[in-house]
Every structure is written in structure tokens, then in C-alpha cells.
Amino acid sequence: MGTPVVDVRGLQRIYPLAEEPVIALGGVDLRIDPGEFVAVMGPSGSGKSTFMHIVGFLDRPTAGRYFFNGSDVTELDEDALADIRSRELGFVFQAYNLLPRTSAIENVALPMLYAGVPERERRAAALAALEEVGLGRYAHHHPNQLSGGQQQRVAIARSLVNNPKLILADEPTGALDVRSTGDVMALFERLNHERGITIMIVTHEPEVAAHAKRVVTFRDGHVVDDRAAAPREAVLS
């Protein structure tokens, strides 16, 4: 499979609270290879969100090592991590997090701003990404003129626009109805299948996880289950 996109070894994250330190991650070893579509599941407080934040360089491990795309990024400084985020990562959030009063195309182009891409290329790439998610004709709409499902697809376009190695999605369907959930998950599947983009999605809904090829379950800061996804019919029945 080549170099793993994410390779964490003995990953720990301990919050030093006053009374008693909280152990969010108690030593996680996990490897995600290029082209995988991984769902991370687990109840609240299981450590799955902390894991995603560390994988996305928004948080740092207390102990353990993190190799991203083959290189050790554990000790990199904030600016270097910001640069990796702008070039190699895409984020999708539960609440979409689009900039208000800003057109879809400008929202999609935002990551390229920080990657130093010239304006002309930014617009072309943003429009291509919007077309990829089927929203090319909404390029100049503002978020408040779009439905929840459309907003989330704009957010997915934003996560793709830099051709990232990895897209991280944190409860991407948490705010959507059943139909929009289906659309968004179908989009993720297509991106994974057709473009070979590695995707890691954090969710607590088994129906959502069923779209992934691999399901990793967290409990109390440890990986307790890691298997290929059950065929979807089995979950639904």
C-alpha cells in the first residue's frame, strides 16, 4: 500500500486538570493507508474527537509519535503544522463553518489563500471543486441562500480544493436530514472511490459508518475494535 498517510504509535493525550488528569487517549497505535475510507466511532468521551484533532494538527499528543505521509511531525512548530494543514489536509465540520455573507466560491477558495495560490488559480480551482460536488451554479450564492445539505457540500468542496492527502470529517452529517445525509455520504464515497482521496470520518451513527470501508471503534481512550465495514444491508436489516 506504500507509505501510510497517518501512522500513530503509542499516542497519548492527557489533559492536566486540577484534581486528577483526564486521559483522553491512553496509547493508540493506528495506521491509515492511502485510499482508505475510515469511520471512527465511539461514545462521547471515548477519545475519537481528540484523535481527530491530533491527526488534523489542531492538538498535540502528550506522548507517542505521529508520522504523517512518512515524516515525523510530532515536534514540528505551529507554523509548519499550519502549512501542512493548508496543503495536505481538508476539514469538514458538523456545523459547516462557512463564512457568512461570503459567496460559496470565496468560501471554497479560502484554504488556497493561506497556501499562497494566486487569485486566478484560486477561482478556477474553487469553481472546479464546486462543480465536483454538483454546486457549480451556486458559486455566487451566500451560505444563507443554501440548504443545509448544500452548505455541507460547499464545505466538502472547500476541503477538496487543495487536492489534500487526507480529508477529516467531524460528524459531517450530524446536522443533516436523512436525504441530505445520503447525498453527502454518497459524495464522500465517490471522492474516495473515483479520486482515491483518503477519508477519515468521525461519527456515532452506524448508518453513516456503514458507508466507510473500515470502522475503528474507540472506548475510554483506546481502540477496542478495528475491522472492515459490515456490508450495508446487514446494518439496515
DSSP conformation letters of 41-94: E--TTSSHHHHHHHHTTSS--SEEEEEETTEE-TT--HHHHHHHHHHHEEEE-T
DSSP conformation letters of 184-226: HHHHHHHHHHHH--EEEEE-S-HHHHTTSSEEEEEETTEEEEE
Residue 115, interface with other proteins (CB under 8 A)?
yes
Measured from the CB atom, the residue of 110 and 128 that comes closer to other proteins is 110
Binding-site size, other proteins (CB under 8 A): 27
Q: Which residues contact 235 (CB under 8 A, 6 or more apart)?
A: 206, 207, 210
**Residue 86 C-beta: closest distance to other proteins, Å:** 2
Using CB under 8 A, pick the residue from 12, 69, 74, 97 that binds other proteins: 97
DSSP state at residue 234: H
Which region holds residue 34: left if phi is over 0, alpha if psi is between -120 and 50, else beta? Answer: beta
Which range of residues in 114-122, 130-138, 215-223, 227-235 is near other proteins by CB under 8 A? 114-122
Using CB under 8 A, pick the residue from 51, 66, 68, 91 that binds other proteins: 91
Residue 59, interface with other proteins (CB under 8 A)?
yes
- CB-based burial of residue 140 (10 Å sphere; 0-12 exposed, 13-18 middle, 19+ buried)? exposed
Measured from the CB atom, the residue of 160 and 185 that comes closer to other proteins is 160
CA atoms within 13 A on the CB side of 81: 17
Which range of residues in 15-23, 53-61, 212-220, 229-237 is near other proteins by CB under 8 A? 53-61
Contact set for other proteins, span 150-189 (CB under 8 A):
158
Residue 116, interface with other proteins (CB under 8 A)?
yes
Is the Cβ–Cβ distance between 92 and 159 less than 8 Å? yes
Residue 227, interface with other proteins (CB under 8 A)?
no
**Residue 160 C-beta: closest distance to other proteins, Å:** 12
Cell of 170: 467531524
Binding mask 118-157 for other proteins (x = CB under 8 A): ----------------------------------------
Interface residues with other proteins (CB under 8 A) are: 53, 56, 58-59, 78-79, 82-87, 89, 91, 93, 95, 97, 99, 101-102, 110-111, 113-116, 158
